Structure 1
Amino acid sequence: MTVIKQDDLIQSVADALQYISYYHPVDFIQSMHEAYLREESPAAKDAIAQILINSRMCATGHRPICQDTGIVTVFVRVGMNVQWDSQMSLDDMINEGVRRAYTHPDNVLRASILADPAGKRKNTKDNTPAVIHYSIVPGDTVEIDVAAKGGGSENKSKMAMLNPSDSIVDWVLKTVPTMGAGWCPPGMLGIGIGGTAEKAALMAKEVLMESIDIHELQARGPQNRAEELRLEIFEKVNQLGIGAQGLGGLTTVLDIKIKDYPTHAASLPVCMIPNCAATRHVHFTLDGTGPAKLAAPSLDAYPEIVWEAGPSARRVDLNSITPEEVASWKPGETLLLNGKMLTGRDAAHKRMCEMLNNGEQLPVDLKGRFIYYVGPVDPVRDEVVGPAGPTTATRMDKFTRQILEATGLLGMIGKSERGPIAIEAIKDNKAVYLMAVGGAAYLVAQAIKQAKVLAFEELGMEAIYEFDVKDMPVTVAVDSLGDSVHISGPQIWHDKIVKSLAVEV
């Protein structure tokens, strides 16, 4: 009979969450490097390079891969012969581990969890509670998978109750383009098939804990229908040409994971959940001998890649920027931003629009300024700000026209594409939208030389900051004429891929 001590489980969960905040799984690093070597799209190759450089920096600096350090999901398989030496419930032990991990003074992680989600949405301050799933299994150990899932990818989860005669492949191919780039491709797609609605969703999330092995499956061939689907979906999703960060390219997914379960004769539940470029998960086992020990990956696993902006990159002075200069920028162009920018995301935009509706003066003058959609991690040691990568820009689409027209804001910076209403507002106001690479938060933070809160301090990471940046790399994603690289890029690469396949045949 194995006895698991309370402190061992708490410490193991805390250590695991710190570990995955700065270490990618080695299989993910290797797969991303293969995608980098294979990629022919310059924009996509550049984005993957930034993600890989960021990954190595985080491994050596022990700081978060992404500023969104995620909602914690835990899968616990408890052996039937296990006993507990604990005064706390298993839920409470796991949440205490989360609390310790996210408030660790040497590597503070961003608290993103809000209580009363349909009401006051008040931050719990320590990222608790986790989402916990249990199963009781034979044996005398406790096996745990810990993951930290970012909101950008989690928000792109899709669910459908298909008819039994419907094609799952067709549904996936129709659905993936609707997900945009907010899930930070390339990543993995977890697909749960069968059971009931909630079972399909649970399987889709759980299967994302598995290692990337699609190339091994390609080499040996499928042995069942689920493996046949994995190979078919992997090939056909990559043929869509969506590419890294949705910029167009050869690699949109690194792997397709599928788990299925018997279902009702009248049903075909399917759920698809993406993992992003900040894929974070780890597995450990408790056997009664103490806390889990997690070995750091060798730095040899990380490729040596040097990022260069290239000779065509423009340096931009945000302190003296003019509408005429903005109008000269072209879609897909690389810019290096210098000077002062503001920050603001969901809560700040909502607050500003409410103030404008009430005839109140905003606490910050936005005229001629650029605003960066970001919720940074708190700084530690000598940092001016913690990891500060972009958040998904489409969440600000509904505020865009009012902010542009009421304030004279000149430009926005975020992650992924903009929707039709935002693009139209950008075009009408001769503004611009710039894209920073999602999943490269620590790398981006190196460009931030000063940071101070200007307004809405009570919103925490959602407050309005002023950043002083030096050579922060961005891509012109929507120009002042309303042309979007997230529309043109994938179409160009889809056409190239289709043409190359036709030549091969």
Structure 2
Amino acid sequence: MSSKQTIVTGEHITKSIADSLQYISYYHPTDYIRYLSSAYEREESPAAKNAMAQILVNSRMAAFGRRPICQDTGLVVIFAKIGMSVQIDSAQGLGDLINEGVRQAYLDPYNPLRASVVSDPLSTRRNTKDNSPAIVHVDLVPGNEITFIVAAKGGGSENKARFTTLNPNASVSDWIVETISTLGSGWCPPGLIGVGVGGSAEKAMLMAKEVLNEPIDMFELLARGPASPEEELRIELYQRINALGIGAQGLGGLTTVVDVKVETFPTHAASKPVALIPQCAANRHIKFTLDGTGPAVLTPPDMSDWPDIEYDSTSSTNARRVNLDTLTKEETATWRAGEMLLLSGKLLTGRDAAHKRIVDLINVGQPLPVDLKGRVIYYVGPVQAVRDEIVGPAGPTTSTRMDMFTEKVLAATGLFAMVGKAERGPVAVEAIVKHRAPYMIAIGGAAYLISKSIKSARVIAFEDLGMEAIYEFEVQDLPVTMAVDVEGNSVHKSGPAEWRQRIMGRL
């Protein structure tokens, strides 16, 4: 047994947490960039290739601008492996030290991050204003160091986490593939899938979450071949999931996942707990060690790992320009699923909390604070602007959360169209067809790039909701894809179906 004792100060823990959260807000892990770049080169679907180009260009812009990759800067999740020969020199507990680091990171005046955490999840859901508290998992291990894994998990992918307990002889692979086929694209592929098998319900979920932070190595695994049942399952799932044809942003294509990670643990003879957690295209995480010599030193990545891709939405000869200020129902009726549009003019914003308030006012016959008739609404909660920015990163949020409000809003307001992320559910599609109000998508994972299309921004209603307030944006050539047209045709159905058939034809 080592007699050496390491003293790690509370200040070094707090600073390291704050620095790491800032770091992962604007730097993608380089392994993900290499794998996504390879997928971009191989991709044959024009829509998916365009989506990946936006994600890669956005990533490079965020790295140079040191601004968030995605407007949803995530729920903070910490895995701390504390050596049993370490003494933490602090009057505060570990959770308090970590949460102070979260506060410092999210309130950083040079790169403020979006506060998305709400307290009292059952009723008031009041924003904590600083994104604390973090979710902290602690493990005591031999040694005289503390190893931290710091991750920021977006709501779109977190909401797609799933768990089941299979019969002992049931196929894990079949359940995973069937489940992913039902998740839609709200988790922002192309990303990763974490799988935990065994233990208990909470252990399986914990394994699935933690294993997502392992290095991406699928190409290496395919080259050398599997050396364990877990690696066999990884390869099988990687191939079967990509064969679904879901593709980038659910538009249909060759790559849905760049890797699949699997962790197992002994379990009860009567059980087979299985957890599935997707990781979105933001893929924010970092690992560092504190050994008592100071806070973590985080070295910027080598930007030569980023591909030199030029993206100019206005250069597309197939894109249709749309003037939002002169829009008519007759014009929106001509838009077709899969078509690329460039939006210019005045665009309203509104997401979950704003929609609830709008519907509450409609239900009691009260006037709305903004006239929605003839307008287009964008489901977004932007990051706070800094310096000379008009608005911070402003990518779309998952639209299915607005489905429950769609019929009421369209019927009562005369709203012309909607912009968000991922597919719409049957109730929303029915309302879209009934009211002939089409739905478009912007690319999730391209928030900083999208913000450059916004030329002015002002809050016009529900200012107390913070990032969920209603803004009016003036946009210029904001690139979107028609997702559901007025006839109910959906690119999220036609795209994956086409590419699933193409892929199966090659097997």
What's the TM-score once normalised by structure 1's chain length? 0.99
User: What is the aligned residue count?
Assistant: 501
Partner of 1:359: 365
SS in 1 for 2:150: strand
CA deviations over 1:246-295 (Å, ceiling 9, x no partner): 00000000000000000000000000001001110000000000000010
SS in 2 for 1:319: helix
Task: Measure the CA separation in 2 of the matches of 1:315 and 1:84.
Answer: 59
Residue of 149, 154, 159 corresponding to 1:155: 159
Deviation at 1:6, TM superposition (A): 1.1
The aligned runs of 1:329-344 (5 Å cut-off) are 329-344=335-350
Partner of 2:490: 484
Residue of 6, 11, 14 corresponding to 1:10: 14
Deviation at 1:308, TM superposition (A): 3.5
Residue of 63, 73, 79 corresponding to 1:75: 79
Task: Measure the CA separation in 1 of the matches of 2:425 and 2:90.
Answer: 51
Task: Measure the CA separation in 2 of the matches of 1:312 and 1:81.
Answer: 63
Task: Measure the CA separation in 1 of the matches of 2:56 and 2:424.
Answer: 25
Task: Measure the CA separation in 2 of the matches of 1:361 and 1:414.
Answer: 25
Partner of 1:240: 244
Matched, 1:276 2:285: no
The structure 1 segments of at least 4 consecutive aligned residues displaced by more than 3 Å after TM superposition are: none
SS in 1 for 2:181: helix
Matched, 1:218 2:222: yes
Task: Measure the CA separation in 2 of the matches of 1:439 and 1:83.
Answer: 40
Task: Measure the CA separation in 2 of the matches of 1:439 and 1:400.
Answer: 24
Partner of 1:327: 333
Task: Measure the CA separation in 2 of the matches of 1:359 and 1:162.
Answer: 49
SS in 1 for 2:389: coil
Task: Measure the CA separation in 1 of the matches of 2:310 and 2:62.
Answer: 15
Q: One-letter code of the match for 2:427?
A: I
Q: One-letter code of the match for 1:429?
A: H
Matched, 1:22 2:49: no
Task: Measure the CA separation in 1 of the matches of 2:153 and 2:12.
Answer: 24
Residue of 103, 109, 112 corresponding to 2:116: 112
Partner of 2:445: 439
Matched, 1:124 2:128: yes
Partner of 2:91: 87
Q: One-letter code of the match for 2:71?
A: Q
Matched, 1:377 2:380: no
Deviation at 1:390, TM superposition (A): 0.1
Task: Measure the CA separation in 2 of the matches of 1:29 and 1:333.
Answer: 28
Partner of 2:42: 38
CA deviations over 1:135-158 (Å, ceiling 9, x no partner): 000000000000000000000001
Matched, 1:302 2:302: no
Q: One-letter code of the match for 1:482?
A: G
The aligned runs of 1:110-189 (5 Å cut-off) are 110-189=114-193
Deviation at 1:13, TM superposition (A): 0.3
Deviation at 1:214, TM superposition (A): 0.6
Task: Measure the CA separation in 2 of the matches of 1:21 and 1:226.
Answer: 31
CA deviations over 1:179-202 (Å, ceiling 9, x no partner): 110000010000000000000000
Q: One-letter code of the match for 1:277?
A: A
The aligned runs of 1:350-429 (5 Å cut-off) are 350-429=356-435
Partner of 1:198: 202
SS in 2 for 1:147: strand
Residue of 245, 260, 263 corresponding to 2:264: 260
Residue of 463, 473, 476 corresponding to 1:467: 473
Q: One-letter code of the match for 1:355?
A: L
Task: Measure the CA separation in 1 of the matches of 2:437 and 2:344.
Answer: 18
Identity over the aligned pairs, expressed in percent?
60
Task: Measure the CA separation in 2 of the matches of 1:304 and 1:373.
Answer: 30
Segments of 5+ residues of structure 2 without an aligned counterpart are none
Task: Measure the CA separation in 2 of the matches of 1:350 and 1:165.
Answer: 45
Deviates more, 1:78-87 or 1:139-148: 78-87
Residue of 65, 70, 74 corresponding to 2:69: 65
Q: Aligned Cα RMSD in Å?
A: 0.5
SS in 1 for 2:131: coil
CA deviations over 1:418-448 (Å, ceiling 9, x no partner): 1111011001111110000000000000000
Task: Measure the CA separation in 1 of the matches of 2:389 and 2:196.
Answer: 42
Residue of 338, 347, 351 corresponding to 2:353: 347
Task: Measure the CA separation in 2 of the matches of 1:143 and 1:207.
Answer: 15
SS in 2 for 1:391: coil
CA deviations over 1:364-412 (Å, ceiling 9, x no partner): 1001100000000000001111000000000000100110111000100
* Structure-2 change in CA distance of 1:345 and 1:28 (3 Å): same
Deviation at 1:94, TM superposition (A): 0.4
Deviation at 1:40, TM superposition (A): 0.2
SS in 2 for 1:15: helix
CA deviations over 1:93-134 (Å, ceiling 9, x no partner): 000000000000000000000000011001100000000000
Partner of 1:456: 462
Task: Measure the CA separation in 1 of the matches of 2:166 and 2:355.
Answer: 37
Task: Measure the CA separation in 2 of the matches of 1:125 and 1:69.
Answer: 13
Residue of 496, 500, 506 corresponding to 1:500: 506
Q: One-letter code of the match for 1:262?
A: P
Deviation at 1:72, TM superposition (A): 0.1
Task: Measure the CA separation in 2 of the matches of 1:158 and 1:33.
Answer: 29
